[in-house]
Structure formats: C-alpha cells, structure tokens
Amino acid sequence: MTRRTNRLSIVSLSAALLLAPACMDFGDVEQPLVLDTHVDDWRNEIIYQVLVDRFGNGDVSNDFGVKYDDLARYQGGDWRGLRDNLDYLDQLGVTTLWISPVIRNVDTDANVDGYHGYWAQDLRAANPHFGDLAELRALVDDAHDRDMKIVVDIVTNHVGQAFYYDMNLNGVPDINIQGSGTPQSPTKHFTEYDPDFDPRGVQAFTSLGEAGPAPAVFQYDPATGHLPPSPAPLGDPAAYNRKGRTFNFDDPDQLLHGDFPGGLKDLDTTRCDVKQTLVDVFVEWAEQTDIDGFRIDTVKHVEYSFWRFFTQQVRTRLAERGKHNFLMFGEVFDGRDALLGSFTRHDIYGTADLAQFLGQTVAPDPSDEDQLAEESACVQNGQALTGDQLDSVFYFSQHFTAIREVFSQGQSTDRIERLWADRLVHWGDTPNENGIDVAPRDLPINFIDNHDVPRFLYELRDRPRDEARALLHNAILFTFTAQGVPCLYYGTEQEFAGGNDPANRERMWDSGYDVTHPTFAFVQRLARVRSRYASLRRGAVNVVWSTSATGDESDAGILAFERLGADAGGSYAIVVLNTNQLHTSTTRTADRAMTVTAPPGTELIDVLGPDAQSYVVADDGTLDVTVEPMQGVVLVPAAEYDAGP
C-alpha cells in the first residue's frame, strides 16, 4: 500500500488554472494532488456511514442557519467535527468512512434544509456549512494517516428544487386547486414545483385548454440557495427530462425520467453533455481530495447506459492519475435481488431489461452492438465501452429478507440461504476492468439500517431493552461475518433508535461519543475479531444449516455458514447464529445433523464467548453446536485461534 508523498499547501491559484475549462475553482487551494491507492482489498474494510451535519460540530463559524430544535434543519456538523473524532472511529474499528455529499446544495426548501447533501445546486463548490476544500483535504489526509479510507456520496440522477413548471403561464410558481368540484369539472390539486408525471412532459394550460410543454423556470433566491444549477449545461432546461414527479416506481418511464418526489429535478442522463459533465465534476473531486471511492445515490433511476459510461470513464481517468482500486457502489432501494444485481453485471442491459425486472413489458432493446455503438458516441477519449458497471450495491434484498424478517421478526432462516443462492445468479461474477479486482457477488455491502429507513431499534421500541439489545447485537454479528463488507450507520453503536427521516438522523454529539457503551464495545470486539481472521473477510460462504422452523423445534432459528477458500489463504471459520427469540436451539434434529468441511477431529474454538468454548468435529464430519436465543458463536480452528485483547 502506497502512502501520499505530498502534503496540503495553500498557495495562490494561477490565472491559467482559473481559466482552464476542465478545472474546478477552489480559490487559493493548490491543485492538483498526487493521487495514491490506499486500499489493498475492499473485503478487508469496515464502512461507517456518516451524515456530516450530524456527527461533530468542530467549527462554529459555519453554523449559519442552524436550528437545534428541528432535525429537518441544519444542526452544525462539519468536516472539522469529523477530524476531531477520528480517534473515536479508530477505537471503534472503522477502516472506511463514508461521508454524505460534499457539494453546495439548495439550502432550504419548504422549511426543510439540504443538510443531507442530496439537493445539488453547484456541483463544483464545497458545501459552506461543512467547510472549504482545504478542510475536506485535511480530513482525507488525517484519515489516510490512520490507514482509514474516505468514500464520498454522490448523486447523478437529479439536482435540487431548481425550477418550477409554469403550467398556467403566469410567470410565478403556483400551488392551486383546479376545477369546480362537479362531475364535469373535478377538483384537482396541483403544484408547479412538483406536478405529477406526464409521459409527454409536463403540460401548460390556459382557460382554453392545454398549451403545450410547460416552460421550466429556474428560481433565483440566493437566501435559500435556489439558484440555477451549475456547472453548464445543468443551467439549461434541456438538460432535464421535465416530465414531473414519479408516483409509480414500477413504470420504467417514470422510474427513469420522472422527478424524484419532493421536486428534485431529473437530469436527462442520456445526453452526452450531461454524462460528460457528471464524469468531469466527480473525477475532479477525487483528483482534488484523493478520496478512495464513491457511494452513488438513486442508481435504479438512471439508465444502464449511463452507468457503463460513467463507471468506465471514471476508472480510466483516475487510473491514469495513479488512483486504482477506486470503489463505486450504489443505492438500489429495492427488495428485488435480480434488479439489484443487474447494475453489477456485464450484460448490455437497456430499458426493456429494466421493464422485465420491474414486471413490465416494453419494446425490445436494440442489439448489444447497436446500444454500445450509440453510447460510444459520447466518449471523448476514444475508450471502447464494455458492459462493466458498478463494483457493488447496497444489499437491500438482504436488509428486507434477513435483517427485518429474520433477525427482527423471527421468521425462518432458510430464506437467507435462498437469498444468498440467488445472489450467485443475479449479481456480476467478474471484476470490472480497472476496478477493485473482486467480483460484485463476493462484495455485497451489508447493512442493518441507514438514513432512508427506520433504525433497527425503532422497530423494537416496545421490547424490553435487554431483548432489543440482544437482537441488535445478533444482527450486527451477522453483517460482520457474512460475505461482503459490513456497513454501520453512525450511532448504531450508541443504540440510536429514531424512526423515519428525519428522526433517524440524530446528533451524534448528544451521545457524548461514549466508548464504554455496551454496543460500542460489542462492535469494537467484532471489528478486532474480523481483522484477525482472513476467513471472515475474504472467505467464500457455504451454508451448512438453515431451517424453516420458527416454533418449538430443536433447530428453530438456526443459521450456520462456513467462511473458507483460497482467497482466505486457507483460513477457516464457521458462524452459528440462533435467531429464535424464545429458546435455545441446536444444529441437530431427530433426522438431521450438521455436516461441515473441517476434517473429523478438528478442534474449533469460539472466539466470541468469554470462555473460549471448544467444539470437536465428530468422526462422521458432523458438528453439534447449541446456541442461546438471539446469540451467536464464531468458531475457528484451534491452530488459528488468537485470544487477543
């Protein structure tokens, strides 16, 4: 692993650099940096998700607009606050920090602030609520000095509430009631900020009837950050699909071309100028900060053709600058595993394929060759496009199936085995060129909850605290030992329990960053265990027990899987979890016993329990393990056992 050789210095930016069209204007900050590769294998990492505005307030001078009594408004967190608390994250065991978007947003809209970062206004400017480029670079530098990586959240699907549709052609944005309430003239509410989807494009009307496409009028209100989006061509209405708000997410046209609910204006990501602008902007952020990857928002709302262009262009340009193993993983907020996996495969998918994943039908796509030829017309550097796409996606199908249904609700564990088997079929089985050298199906991003869903403990708010904690710990154990990369949402280690947005976006400093908290200690311990055993990081997975039983049966709630194989360097582990919430369960029934691949006579030691309990594989290759309700064990061969701290 290489280290950065140059340090941040502040100098005057040359006039030539200011005038360069492909460069970002960062004032007095020297550019560009020498880029390095800071990660060897992403499977070794533990990701920690942070909403910058909610983690640490290190610089009160940027606290303009803060409203502490309203979680829908800015709270004061910033990049300095993250830097000030890297010791806390280091102690927890975090190796990769995923931070919310860094760009300037629409500041306030409808009494809600853009603190989260998903309301882009100027893609080349830093969000002044969080600091300047020098502060962001300092955060990245400090993280790299600790061998911690930084992933930045980006959005390519939409910008913030940038314009309104002047539907009644009166030159001002209206929210009105239309109609007289009779059968001949039904009452209809409409808002020119966020009208319903129309496949023709949002239409204007007068007293005489429809009047063609409604003009898109950019707002200009510097006090709230409602300004025409930047850079060009994003300040041109032609850069947007202008079809109105998506309300049917299973309609491919709405999914791809509709505005995101809340008035977030949908970019026309089939346009070459839009594609190239987004590549240029986000590559420049990586070049200016030496970050290590992108988490990409709203992936399923953007065409497959865009992902082929964007990911391949980004990888090539960063590789030319010396940045390799740059991770790009996306958010496909959906429980359909085939849809999730489709964004990681090398098939030349198009709109017809998306429709099939959504259970709809549309006209067939052009041939693969014709699709790639059309997409290649946007390429400026002569690179031949292939089917390569994202390195991974958030494992939302596992969130719904395993975390919610099994670990929270106590449903059967055989559904997890089926889900994992589906991943081998649905997800890409080949690494991307210039990518991270790991097949997507081997690198799902495993999470319990995040900023878009209620926290795990919110769903257990009526349970006794000890029981809720046991269920939480068991779910964390699952995500830290299953194949893939664990991703922990900030505050989980402090048992935050907020409901839907914005209640699940609490202030971290209210916890006091308590390093003695029982769940902090549990996560810390799991991170140490994971770091000691290559099998738990890079091993393939082999399910050796799952069950349909959820009641009084002896194996009810048991899930057991091995982690092993060549990528683990011969290391071996077996994880046995009891998701049953009522009774002790075991890996044996009257007519079935658990068979493992470890040789007969192998002594296995539990690395989690306080007593380092020992188990021995029987002569017939079976292994009996009994686990208390809502608990788990992690067994490794005695020859590999490392007691550690």
May I ask the CATH architecture of the domain 535-637? Sandwich (2.60)
Q: DSSP letter string over 192-207?
A: SSSPBP-TT-PEEEET
* CA pseudo-torsion sign 332, 277, 221, 136: positive
Q: CA distances (Å), 507 to each of 127, 152, 504, 513, 640, in order?
A: 19, 20, 10, 11, 41
**Of all helices (H) and strands (E), which one includes residue 164?**
strand 163-165
Q: Do domains 15-154+271-525 and 535-637 have the same CATH topology?
A: no
Could you give the angle at the alpha carbon of 394 between the alpha carbons of 388 and 396, nearest 5°? 125
What CATH number was assigned to the domain covering residues 15-154+271-525? 3.20.20.80
pLDDT of residue 15: 32
Phi and psi at residue 226, in whole multiples of 5°?
Answer: -85, 95
> What span, in angstroms and rounded, lies between the C-alpha atoms of 118 and 160?
7
pLDDT of residue 184: 77
- Give residue limits of the domains in the chain: 15-154+271-525, 163-218+234-267, 535-637
Q: Which residues of 307-317 are buried (b: 16+ CB within 10 A; e: fewer)?
A: bbbbbbbbbbb
> What span, in angstroms and rounded, lies between the C-alpha atoms of 144 and 160?
32
Average pLDDT by consecutive 10-residue portion of the chain (645 residues)?
35 33 47 88 98 98 96 98 98 98 97 97 98 98 98 98 95 84 80 96 91 96 96 96 97 97 97 98 98 98 98 98 97 98 98 96 93 94 95 98 98 98 98 98 98 97 97 98 98 98 98 98 98 98 98 98 95 98 97 97 96 96 98 97 85
CA 119 centroid distance within chain: 17
Q: 251: how many CB neighbours lie within 10 A of its CB?
A: 18
Q: Tell me the three state secondary structure of residue 535.
A: helix
Q: Which residues of 428-459 are buried (b: 16+ CB within 10 A; e: fewer)?
A: beebbebbbebbbbbbbbbbbbbbebbbbbbb
* Amino acid code (one letter) for 262: G
What DSSP state is assigned to residue 448?
Answer: S
pTM recorded for the entire structure: 0.94
pLDDT of residue 23: 47
pLDDT of residue 19: 33
Contact call for residues 175 and 193 (beta carbons, < 8 A): yes
> What span, in angstroms and rounded, lies between the C-alpha atoms of 584 and 554?
8
Q: CA distances (Å), 618 to each of 593, 606, 637, in order?
A: 11, 17, 14
Residue carrying structure tokens 């960062």: 26
Q: Which segments within 572-637 are labelled E, that is strand?
A: 573-578, 585-586, 588-589, 592-593, 603-606, 614-616, 626-627, 631-637
Contact call for residues 240 and 257 (beta carbons, < 8 A): no
**Of all helices (H) and strands (E), which one includes residue 99?**
strand 96-99
Task: Write down how long the chain is.
Answer: 645
Region of residue 191 (phi > 0: left; psi between -120 and 50: alpha; otherwise: beta): beta
Helix 272-289 vs helix 304-320: crossing angle, to nearest 10: 40
Is residue 620 exposed (0-12), middle (13-18) or buried (19+ Cβ within 10 Å)? exposed
